[in-house]
Structure 1
Amino acid sequence: MGSVNVRDGRLYLDFRYRSVRCREHTKLSDSPANRKALAAVLAKLELEIQRGTFDYGKHFPGSPKVEHFRQIEQLVQQKAVGGKMLFEVFANLWLEEKRAEWRLSHIETIEGILRCHLVPYYRGNPIGVISKGEIMALRGLLCQADAETGKQLSASRVNHIMTALRMILNEAAERFGYESPWRNIKALPMPRADIQPFTLKEVLLIIDNVRADFRSYYLVRFFTGMRTGEIDGLTWGDVDFGSRQIHIRQALVRGQVEKTKTASSYRTLAMSQVVYDALHEQWKRSDEKNRFVFTARNGQPLNHRNVTRRVWYPLLEYLRLRKRNPYQSRHTAATLWLAAGENPEWIARQLGHANTSMLFRVYSRYIPNLIRQDGSAFEQLLDQELCEEVG
C-alpha cells in the first residue's frame, strides 16, 4: 500500500508499480489539506493499478520512470510473440538494463558498438531469426578493410564487438525460450601484447628532463605501475604517508570518476622511497583545496589526452626516444620489478592483477630467477643506478 511522505518540506507519493518502488515528488508543502488531497490522488492511482488501467506517463509525464515502464510494457507485449522483437529494440532495452551494472566508460563503448556496427547491420531483423551464418557474415565484414580509407579493425576490436553481440543474442534466447544461434564461435586469435617498456636509464632521462610540474607525476607513474585513470583519479585521501601506502579506490575515465576497472584493481600499493619522496614533494606544492593529487594549473583534474599531446610526446621527441604511449610506464614498472628479481605475486598485486597468469603471459621474457617478495630488490637496483648517475 502506498503512502504520502514528506522530504525537505515537500510532499511526495511512495507506491509500487510492476514490483518497482516508485517515489514521485510534488511541489506541495506539508499541510493537512495537501496531505488529504494527495491521499485522494494516491487512492485513485492504486485503484487504476489494481484494474490494470494505470498509465504512468499520464500521471507523471515528466518522470524518468515513464520511459522505463514503457520499455517494460513493450517487452511484455513482445515476449508474447517470442523472438519477433526487432534486434534494435531488444538491444536498446538490454543496454538500459545493464546501465546499473557497468561503468560509464563501458556503457559509452557499448553504445558506440551498437550505433556503429550492430544496429546498422541487423536493423529491422527479428532477433529470434538471426542465424549463426549471419553472425559469421558480420564478423567477416568487420575483418575487411574499409574501401575508402583502407583501415582495418584490429582483432581485439572485432572481438569486443562480437562479445556484445553474443551477450545480446544469448540474453534474448534465454528470455524468449529458444536456442541461441551463438554456438561454437571462437574469438579471433590475438597477437601477443606489444609492450615497449623503457629501460631504467631512459626513465631517469625522462625524469631529469620533464617539466618541473610533471616530475612527481611521472615518477609515481613509472615506479608504481598505476594505470592512467588510476593516477589521474588519485586523491589525497587515498595517500597514506604514515603507512607508506596508496589506496586505489577509483579511476578518472573520460573526465568522470568511476570505480576501478576490475575487482582486483581495487587495491593497496606499497610506496617505494622514490614514490614517497615524489608524493611528499607534490603535497608541498599542491593547493590545499585540491582534492586530486595531480591537477592541471587551473586546479582541475588532468585530461590525459592533453597531457599526452602537450607534455609526453614532445618530451620523447626532444630526448630522441622512440615514440611510445604513456601506458608503457605501467609495462616499465612491471619489467623493472621483474629484472630486479621481485616476487611475481607481489608484482601482480601491485599491478592489480587477479593472479600471476597475465604477468607470465605478457612479461615472460623479462623474468629471471625470482626470489624476492617485498619490493626491496627494486629499491636496491634503483639506488645502484642513481649512484652511477651521480658518479
Structure 2
Amino acid sequence: MANYRIRPNGIIQYDIHIYGRRFRETTGMPATPKNIKIAKATVKQINAEINLNTFQYRDYFPDSKKVELFEALQQARFPDRFSPYFDNFANNWLERQKPKWKQSYYNTVVRNLNNYLKPEFGNLLVDELTLNHLEHYRQRLSLMEKEDGSRQLSNARINNILWPLISIMSLAADEYHFPYPFARYKALREEKSDSNPMTLEEVKCFLHHVDAKWYDYFLLRFMTGMRSCEVHGLQLQHIDFNHRLIRIRQNVVNGEITDVKTPKSRRDLPINDILFESLKRVTQPLTTLDAFLFSDEAGRPLDTRKIGQKIWHPTLKKAGLSSRRPYETRHTAAVLHLAAHENPLYVSKMLGHSSTKLLFEIYAPYVFNAARCDGSAFSTMMESNHVFDKR
C-alpha cells in the first residue's frame, strides 16, 4: 500500500509497498498545507489502483530509475496479464539486433527510437498498440513542415523512422502471443529523387573553379563515380600503382571506418593515365599505409556533410552552376562513361551495382543527350534518302 511521510528536511516523500518491495520517491515539495493535500489525494489514488491491480509506476514517476524494477516484478507476478511496455521491449530488441548491424546503422536506429518512437509509443503496452496508433502518428509526421512551408520529412524518411516499430511489434506479437496489429500496414510510396548529372562542360567548369587543394579529390569522384564514404575511406594501402588499381575495401560513415556494404561494392577500379598522375600527387606526402588519401588537418577522415557545405556548394555557386547534391558526381561519372560508349557491364561494375538494370533506368535519358543519341541520326538518314519528300 502507499502512504506519504515528511522527511527531516521538510520534504514530502511517497512510501509504496507492493510486490514485497518498498519503493520510496521524493516529491521535492515542501510540507505546506497545500502540498500535503496534494500528497494525500495522490496516495488515495495510488491505493485505489493498487487494489484494482491497475497501478503503473511510470504513470506517477515516469523519470524514476525504479520503473524498470517495478515492471519486472509486475511481469513476474502476472505473466499472463501484463506484456512489457513498448520502450522496455524496444530496448531489449535493440540489444538483440546490435551484433547484426554496423555501428553507424545501429546509431541511426537508436536516433529513430529516441527521437520518434519512444516518445510516441513508449507508455503503451506492446499488446495495446494498434494500426490506428501507427497510421495517426504517420499522418502527423507527414504534416510536419519546415519554416518555408515545405515538408520536413519525405515518405522515404518516414518509412525509415517507422521500420523499427514494425520489426519490434512483429517480434513482440510472436513472443507474447497476441495478434500482430500491422498485418494490413503498407509503407508509403517513395518517390525517387531525380538525377541531375553534369555535362562534360560543366565538369570542366567546376574543376576550373574549385580550390586547387580539392582538385584531385573531385577529379577522382568525377572519373570513378565512387561514393563519398568510399573516397573518404581510401588509404594509401588501397592504391596499387604497380597494377594500376584502386581497391575499394572500406567506407567511412559518421567518422567510423567499416567494411564496404555489399560484395559488389568491394571492387577494384582501374587507374587511367589522368588518375595515375593525380593519385601520385595525392599520395606523395603520405608516409604510412593507413594514412588517408584525403583527410582533415588532423589526419582524420573527411566529413561528408562538411564537404558539401564548405566545398561543393560554394564551388557550384562560384562556377555559376545549378545547385545539386554532391552525390551527382557519381551520376555524372556514370553518364559520361556510357556516353563514351563504355561497356554498360563495365560501368555497372565500376559503380558497384549488382546488375546493369539500374544504369538504363536512371541514366538512359542523359546518355542520349550526352552522346547525341537522340534520334537525330535516324532523322538525318531518312531525310538524306528523301523518304518524306512532299509530292
Q: CA deviation at 1:147?
A: 9.1
The answer to whether the 8 A contact 1:341-1:368 is kept is no
- Once residues 218 and 184 of structure 1 are traced to their aligned partners in structure 2, the CA distance between those partners, rounded to angstroms, is 47
Instruction: Determine the structure 1 residue equivalent to 2:112.
Output: 113
Instruction: Determine the structure 2 residue equivalent to 1:185.
Output: 185
Look up the SS of the partner of 2:321 in the other structure: coil
Q: CA deviation at 1:338?
A: 2.0
More displaced, 126-135 or 290-299? 290-299
Look up the SS of the partner of 1:183 in the other structure: coil
Distance 1:331 1:253, change over 3 A: same
Distance 1:174 1:269, change over 3 A: farther
Aligned partner letter, 1:259 = D
2:206 pairs with 1:245: no
More displaced, 308-317 or 297-306? 297-306
- Once residues 78 and 179 of structure 2 are traced to their aligned partners in structure 1, the CA distance between those partners, rounded to angstroms, is 15
- Once residues 78 and 224 of structure 2 are traced to their aligned partners in structure 1, the CA distance between those partners, rounded to angstroms, is 51
Aligned partner letter, 2:313 = Y
For the pair shown, the structure with the greater C-alpha radius of gyration is: 2
Instruction: Determine the structure 2 residue equivalent to 1:156.
Output: 156
The answer to whether the 8 A contact 1:193-1:362 is kept is no
- Once residues 147 and 291 of structure 1 are traced to their aligned partners in structure 2, the CA distance between those partners, rounded to angstroms, is 41
Instruction: Determine the structure 1 residue equivalent to 2:234.
Output: 234
Instruction: Determine the structure 2 residue equivalent to 1:380.
Output: none
The answer to whether the 8 A contact 1:348-1:354 is kept is yes
- The 5 A counterparts of 1:169-180 are 169-180=169-180
Q: CA deviation at 1:77?
A: 5.2
The answer to whether the 8 A contact 2:295-2:302 is kept is yes
Aligned partner letter, 1:241 = F
Q: CA deviation at 1:336?
A: 1.2
The answer to whether the 8 A contact 1:82-1:128 is kept is no
Query: Over the residues paired in the alignment, what is the CA RMSD in angstroms?
Result: 2.8
TM-score under structure 1 length normalisation: 0.69
The answer to whether the 8 A contact 1:246-1:270 is kept is yes
Look up the SS of the partner of 1:258 in the other structure: strand
The answer to whether the 8 A contact 1:79-1:176 is kept is no
Instruction: Determine the structure 2 residue equivalent to 1:143.
Output: 142
The answer to whether the 8 A contact 2:237-2:290 is kept is no
1:333-367, CA deviations, whole angstroms, 9 ceiling, x for partnerless residues? 11112222223322222112222333333223235
2:79 pairs with 1:88: no
1:125-151, CA deviations, whole angstroms, 9 ceiling, x for partnerless residues? 111222222222222221113498744
- Once residues 221 and 166 of structure 1 are traced to their aligned partners in structure 2, the CA distance between those partners, rounded to angstroms, is 37
Aligned partner letter, 1:92 = N
Q: CA deviation at 1:237?
A: 0.9
Look up the SS of the partner of 1:193 in the other structure: coil
TM-score under structure 2 length normalisation: 0.69
More displaced, 293-302 or 210-219? 293-302
Look up the SS of the partner of 1:85 in the other structure: coil
Q: CA deviation at 1:193?
A: 2.1
Q: CA deviation at 1:276?
A: 2.4
1:74-124, CA deviations, whole angstroms, 9 ceiling, x for partnerless residues? 9x9599448711111111111112221112221121111111211111121
- The 5 A counterparts of 1:41-120 are 80-81=79-80, 84-120=83-119
- Once residues 128 and 270 of structure 1 are traced to their aligned partners in structure 2, the CA distance between those partners, rounded to angstroms, is 56
- Once residues 146 and 174 of structure 1 are traced to their aligned partners in structure 2, the CA distance between those partners, rounded to angstroms, is 37
The answer to whether the 8 A contact 1:339-1:368 is kept is yes
- Once residues 205 and 187 of structure 2 are traced to their aligned partners in structure 1, the CA distance between those partners, rounded to angstroms, is 41
- Once residues 109 and 164 of structure 2 are traced to their aligned partners in structure 1, the CA distance between those partners, rounded to angstroms, is 7
Instruction: Determine the structure 2 residue equivalent to 1:19.
Output: none
2:334 pairs with 1:352: no
The answer to whether the 8 A contact 1:216-1:279 is kept is yes
- Once residues 77 and 251 of structure 2 are traced to their aligned partners in structure 1, the CA distance between those partners, rounded to angstroms, is 39
Look up the SS of the partner of 2:127 in the other structure: helix
More displaced, 207-216 or 85-94? 207-216
Instruction: Determine the structure 1 residue equivalent to 2:24.
Output: none
The answer to whether the 8 A contact 2:85-2:122 is kept is yes
Distance 1:139 1:283, change over 3 A: same
Q: Aligned pair count?
A: 298
The answer to whether the 8 A contact 2:250-2:259 is kept is yes
Aligned partner letter, 1:292 = F
More displaced, 179-188 or 157-166? 179-188
Look up the SS of the partner of 1:197 in the other structure: coil
The answer to whether the 8 A contact 2:236-2:289 is kept is no
Look up the SS of the partner of 1:141 in the other structure: helix
> Structure 2 unaligned runs (5+)?
1-68, 370-391
- Once residues 317 and 179 of structure 1 are traced to their aligned partners in structure 2, the CA distance between those partners, rounded to angstroms, is 55
Distance 1:111 1:241, change over 3 A: same
Look up the SS of the partner of 2:338 in the other structure: helix
Instruction: Determine the structure 2 residue equivalent to 1:128.
Output: 127
Aligned partner letter, 2:242 = G
Distance 1:360 1:184, change over 3 A: farther
Q: CA deviation at 1:204?
A: 1.8
